[in-house]
Amino acid sequence: MILPQPKDQAPSFLHVLPPSRLGRSHTSLESYDIAVRQTATRNESQVPTEFSLVVLLSPNSRQRQKSNISVLLGKKLRGFGKGFYNCFGGKLEKSNDEHQYPSRGAVREVQEETGIYIPLELMEDGLVGTLNFTFDDWEVNKSMKVYLYCIVVSLSSECENNTLNPGGAIVIDPESIRGCDEIEPAWFDNIFDIPLQQMFADDSLWLTMLLSYYNQVFESRKSSTAQHPDKRKLKFDAWFHFEAGGAESNQIMDHHIQMNRSNEATTLCSASPPMPSEVKFTLEQRLFHALHSNHIHSPSIKEFKENYAMVNAVRRHMGEEKRMQYVIDVAGGHGALAALFLALTKKCHSAIVIDPAVVKGKEGIQKVWSPFWNTKGSVGSRPKQLKYRHECLRTALRDELQSILNGNDKPKSTDILVVACHACQHLTDETMKIATEFGVNVACMPCCQKDHDGWWKRSAKDFGLSIGALVDLLSAGKMMACETGAKSGVKYQVKIKMIDEKISPLQNRIILCKAIERNDKVKDVKTQVAHDKLTKAYRRAHRQGAANDQTDRSQNDAERHHGISHNKSGAADRHHLLYLLSGIVIGMVLTLTLTTKSRNH
């Protein structure tokens, strides 16, 4: 992609701030950091506050002689930057996980401040880069990290508001745009006349560059329609260090703008550093980029990450790749999960998606991902295949399994894998039941778990578990039961794995069931050995108990004999004491009698 070069007589922005207020430009981030450290006291440990910022453009300008695009700006009525014009955005909210997914915050802020709803996938695709701000008085003005987006919308008063046109742009009624108590939106038909003198100083650098670029893109589109402007996006990151005083001083000390290599547009910014000759991306990044560079939004980002994480979890548990030669994706929709098994598993040569519904996106998956599994070659002489079957699970899954097992290859049942991602409780139970009938491997990520009979609700409360977690444990327990898979000659090694909760915070448990061939002879031998050990231990325990009983009886006899002797000696002592007491009493009576007689005499 070659970006259009600026014309010799290209119009300039009328109200751009003077260079004295824009600070020093640096050709590299290293140079920028050194300059900031030398001229400012900065708290390196300070975590920046995160924001979103969205630039809204429209090619449907009312005054085309001035510029080819219009831009929607808002005048701040209160809060930070009051009285300034700005694009739309705000602080990311942790409660909505916007720090992990900043595009969510961008969607929310644009809708709150303008009434325009931008679909999340379109917002994610419009990411330009980040704007990083630090301030000389960092104790007062905290550092900021701003996620910058650029969205192109079409204006039409004759269509339904907030709809997608065939080109993928949002169509809105200009009369439906509304502000709020914080900001008042307004269209500027001439981008070169925007009030930069009433905007933050950094807008005179990055915003003018972005507007100039898209103005040239739409200018080139007038003469040629071969290239859609949405495929030619400008991406960059920028750093700005402001003097103390914040919005009041509104003066930059140092700045650096770094263009993204994918632009192939370093001529737009003289401050761009030389880019490395090669940038390495992970397979996950290349797969995702293949989707969005071709404007394929199904699967969504969340679905893609879930499917990618599930494939890796299943592969680790199954171990041998031959266990995944055949993959059947139940209720797979667009088929991304099945396709990822083809791309990530070398020995997987057949993936079948079973879903009664025809879901949008399957053609895109085939188109952009087939090169990834074709480069891995094929198993034997056959290429890898991704097929779809639009039929009910109960008939289609049994039929496909029977067809594979009776095919020319005659594979083992343990060479087949059945998967289901985000399967409801009923679908999970049905999938596992059919899989055990054929003795194949199975992996399910359940959702919408239910205790239909209500027998386990109290237990879940007592155990401190959610009903979903408890039902998943029960499903795993059923797969581990002794008779599960017995008719098919297998037993199941079962584990529950969890994917990153940042991807799927609630329904993120995968029940992994590896089918292992039963060996009844080995099982019988092991059972007999265990039985013999238990018998010996039982006899030993009882022999010891009998000896203890004999010892106890001998001790009791000795104690009884000792008790009789003790009783006899005790009786003699009692008689002796009685005689002594009797003598004392008789003596006391005689003494009392003699004393009485003496007194009478």
- Please report the pLDDT score of residue 296 as a whole number: 80
Structure tokens at 549: 């009983």
Residues 226-257 have pLDDT tens digits of 444 445 689 999 999 999 887 778 999 999 99
Q: In terms of Cα–Cα distance, which of 312, 363, 300, 356 is closest to 330? A: 356
Distance, C-alpha 534 to centroid of its chain: 49
Q: Which CATH superfamily is domain 25-273 in?
A: Nucleoside Triphosphate Pyrophosphohydrolase (3.90.79.10)
Q: Which residue stretches of the chain have pLDDT < 70?
A: 1-11, 39-45, 60-65, 158-169, 222-232, 261-281, 361, 375-382, 505-507, 520-526, 544-601
- Please report the pLDDT score of residue 217 as a whole number: 87
Distance from C-alpha of 235 to C-alpha of 265, rounded to nearest angstrom = 9
Q: Where are the domains of the chain?
A: 25-273, 285-522
Q: Are 271 and 256 in contact (CB under 8 A)?
A: yes
Give the CA dihedral 117, 77, 132, 10, nearest 10 degrees. Answer: 80
How distant, in Å, are the alpha carbons of 12, 161, 402 from that of 150? 21, 19, 52
Distance from C-alpha of 73 to C-alpha of 196, rounded to nearest angstrom = 11
- Please report the pLDDT score of residue 583 as a whole number: 60
CATH class, 285-522 region: alpha beta
Distance from C-alpha of 2 to C-alpha of 11, rounded to nearest angstrom = 21
- Please report the pLDDT score of residue 226 as a whole number: 43
Residues 124-172 have pLDDT tens digits of 999 999 999 998 888 788 899 999 999 999 887 766 555 555 555 688 8
- Please report the pLDDT score of residue 378 as a whole number: 45
- Please report the pLDDT score of residue 3 as a whole number: 45
pTM: 0.46
